[in-house]
Amino acid sequence: MRKLKTPDVFNAMRVIKKTGVKEGIKPYIKMAAEGKLSTEDLGIEGVLGLIEILAESKSERALYEVLAGPFEMTPDDVAELDLDVFVSNLKIIEKENNLKVFFNSLSGLIGKM
């Protein structure tokens, strides 16, 4: 597991653009950037909300692509994780990163799309 890095923001942006889910996830990203979601809500609820949005657009794989970098595994490996390991990894990302900075960056880029 590694910390989030600058390329992760751009990878997330590419996935958002590719999947066409900008409007669906924009509220989550905005709330995160504004600090209206607690870190826990952002880490777990935000990702679960993202999963719901991506599932609706049949873009589940896109989430695996975004998480593959910080999880240090392939998207296929992320897809095959046991649920408890998946959630545990999300909690590690939440704990070891400044998610507000990440989502502020993402929010700024989404605003320019």
Given a cut of 90, is residue 29 above it in pLDDT?
no
Distance in angstroms (rounded) separating the CA atoms of residues 14 and 20: 10
Given a cut of 90, is residue 5 above it in pLDDT?
yes
| pLDDT value for 44 | 66
| pLDDT value for 40 | 65
User: Is 25 inside any structural domain?
Assistant: yes
User: Is 100 inside any structural domain?
Assistant: yes
pTM: 0.73
* Structure-block tokens of residue 63: 């989430």
pLDDT tens digit sequence for 12-24:
888 888 887 777 7
Number of domains in the chain: 1
* Structure-block tokens of residue 108: 């700024």
* Structure-block tokens of residue 70: 């910080």
| pLDDT value for 80 | 97
User: Is 1 inside any structural domain?
Assistant: no
Element of type H or E holding 105:
helix 99-111
CA distances from 72 to 1, 34, 40, 79 (A): 6, 29, 22, 13
pLDDT tens digit sequence for 56-91:
666 788 888 889 999 999 999 999 999 999 989 988
Q: How far is CA 6 from the centre of its chain?
A: 13
Which structural domain range is residue 64 located in? 6-111
Given a cut of 90, is residue 101 above it in pLDDT?
no
| pLDDT value for 69 | 95
